[in-house]
Structures are given as structure tokens and as C-alpha cells.
């Protein structure tokens, strides 16, 4: 993690999985609103999530050819956007949506958006969960590209964490949490998820009481859904409980908003 506060320091996003820009809108933007700029570089191509943690704040990011690569427009809640960036230098302009507002503090989180390839052998996501702060919950988004479909069991090492996987249409195809003692279940008692070939977005919501950046791992392990402890394919009592729980989690994920609500300016 890198905490960027000095204007003379130009961070390289390729060197850190998480960065945060902090500053004050002491300058004046092209539209007359209070604004500030941050410069950063990228040394290798990658996809990044940008999240502005302040309400009524706009962000515009341009490359070294002065082309806009992504924009964020926060109103009453925080805003986020993803962009694929190639090697080069970029400038982020953070400005206030209300031109009548005075100088305000701001913070913007930047995380690397991993692109995970899922084959018949499964896949592994390695990430770092960040503590919530500045009105932000630390929600992460990653891309899963399933090239060989199948049925998988998921396991995440971070306690008290919720996650959901959505297809390109926003439909929840898998969801779970680690607030229950899943670690005490054996492999055959864990829920399974059927994934067809295609691209999916994984949303990870870390625990709200996280105190420090914490590494975690999430694995997708292939599994025969008909195999049970007794070697039978009928639904057991524990399987019924898990299925009903997954239905509730899918409902939560479909109703959850991708951003959090911040205090109005």
C-alpha cells in the first residue's frame, strides 16, 4: 500500500496492489470549481479500479496524450470506475461538483483489478483487503474469465467476508460469506456453483472491523456435485441448509448497491 500525499512524489501503480491519493482542492479547474491534480505512472499494462470517497466530487483521468481514459461523478454517494491502462504517465483532476463550495479534503483509492483465468482445474485469486475509511467500505472488484465451465467449490481465507460473482448482465451466479464457520465443514459439505464459459465480475466485501491491510486468497476448486459423504446424490440436511443459505445470499447480492453512501457535502 502506498499513501500519496506529497505532490512531488509520482507513484507507479504497477508497484502496488493498493494506492490512495489524498489532498485538498486548493486550485481552480477549467470550469471554475475548486480542484487539485495528481500525477501517476504505469509501467506495465493492467486494469485498475478508481474510487472517489467523497460526495459531490468529480474525477477525470487523462493520459500523456491528453485523452480522457475514465471519469467518475460522485453525487450523494461514492463513485467508482475501472480502466485498462497501458504504460505511461497519467493525470487525475479531482474537482468539486458544486462550484460554490470551498476548499475540501478528498481521497481516492486505486486498486489493481485482477483478471483471473478459470479452467477445468479451477483458479485462485490473491488479494489484499483494505480497512474501510472515509465513507468507503473497501469493496473490491475483479474479473473472472471462465474458459472451461464446470461445477466448483469456493473457499476464501478472509473471515467475516461476503462475496458475489455476477455475469455480464449483472445476474448473480454465486455468492457466499465467511461469517458462518465454513472452515469447520469438510469439502463435501461446502456449497457448489455451476459456471458456464464467459466473463464474470467478482465483488468482495471485507469485514467492516478490519484494522489493517490483510492478504487473502480465494480458490475455485472443481467438484462433482453428485458426490456426498455417503456417496449418494440425494440432498442431505446440510445440503438443504446450504442451498437455502445460498438463495438468501444471492438475493442480498442482487439487491446490494456497488457503492456506499457518504455524508452529504
The residues facing 122 across adjacent strands are: 119
Between CA 85 and CA 63 the distance in angstroms is 9
Structure confidence at residue 154 as a pLDDT band (50, 70, 90) = confident
Statement: residue 25 has pLDDT above 90: yes
Q: What's the confidence (pLDDT) of residue 57?
A: 94
More confident residue, 82 or 65: 65
Q: Quick one: pLDDT at residue 210?
A: 86
pLDDT at 180: 54
- Domains in the chain, please, with CATH? 2-112 (2.60.120.380), 115-255 (2.60.120.380)
Strands 2-4 and 18-24: parallel
Tell me the whole-structure pTM to 2 decimals. 0.61
Q: How far apart are CA 159 and CA 232, in angstroms?
A: 31
Matching residue, cell 477445468: 120
Query: What is d(CA 197, CA 192) in angstroms, rounded to the nearest whole number?
Result: 16
196-225 pLDDT, tens digit per residue, is 999 999 988 888 888 888 888 899 988 876
Q: How far is CA 44 from CA 9, 65, 125, 144, in A?
A: 19, 17, 20, 20
- Give me Rg for the CA atoms of the chain: 21
Amino acid at each position: 500500500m502506498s499513501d500519496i500525499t506529497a505532490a512531488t512524489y509520482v507513484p507507479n501503480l504497477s508497484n502496488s496492489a493498493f494506492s490512495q491519493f489524498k489532498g485538498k482542492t486548493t486550485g481552480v479547474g477549467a470550469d471554475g470549481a475548486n480542484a487539485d491534480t495528481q500525477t501517476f505512472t504505469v509501467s506495465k499494462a493492467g486494469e485498475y479500479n478508481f474510487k472517489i470517497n467523497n460526495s459531490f466530487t468529480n474525477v477525470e483521468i487523462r493520459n500523456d496524450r491528453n485523452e480522457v481514459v475514465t471519469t467518475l461523478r460522485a453525487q450523494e454517494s461514492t463513485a467508482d470506475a475501472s480502466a485498462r491502462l497501458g504504460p505511461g504517465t497519467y493525470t487525475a483532476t479531482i474537482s468539486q461538483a458544486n462550484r460554490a463550495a470551498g476548499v475540501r479534503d478528498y481521497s481516492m483509492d486505486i486498486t489493481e483489478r485482477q483478471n483471473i483465468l478459470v479452467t477445468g482445474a479451477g483458479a485462485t485469486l490473491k488479494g489484499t483487503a483494505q480497512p474501510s475509511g472515509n465513507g468507503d467500505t473497501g469493496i473490491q472488484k475483479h474479473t473472472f474469465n471462465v474458459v472451461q465451465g464446470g461445477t466448483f467449490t469456493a473457499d476464501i481465507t478472509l473471515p467475516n467476508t461476503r462475496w458475489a460473482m455476477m455475469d455480464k448482465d449483472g445476474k448473480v451466479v454465486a455468492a457466499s460469506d465467511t461469517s458462518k464457520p465454513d472452515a469447520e465443514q469438510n469439502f463435501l459439505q461446502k456449497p457448489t456453483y455451476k459456471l458456464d464459459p464467459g466473463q464474470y465480475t467478482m465483488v468482495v466485501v471485507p469485514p467492516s472491523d478490519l484494522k489493517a491491510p490483510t492478504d487473502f486468497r480465494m480458490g475455485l476448486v472443481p467438484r462433482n456435485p453428485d458426490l456426498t459423504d455417503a456417496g449418494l446424490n440425494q440432498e442431505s440436511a446440510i445440503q438443504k441448509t446450504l442451498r437455502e443459505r445460498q438463495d438468501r445470499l444471492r438475493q442480498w447480492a442482487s439487491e446490494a448497491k456497488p457503492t456506499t453512501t457518504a455524508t452529504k457535502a
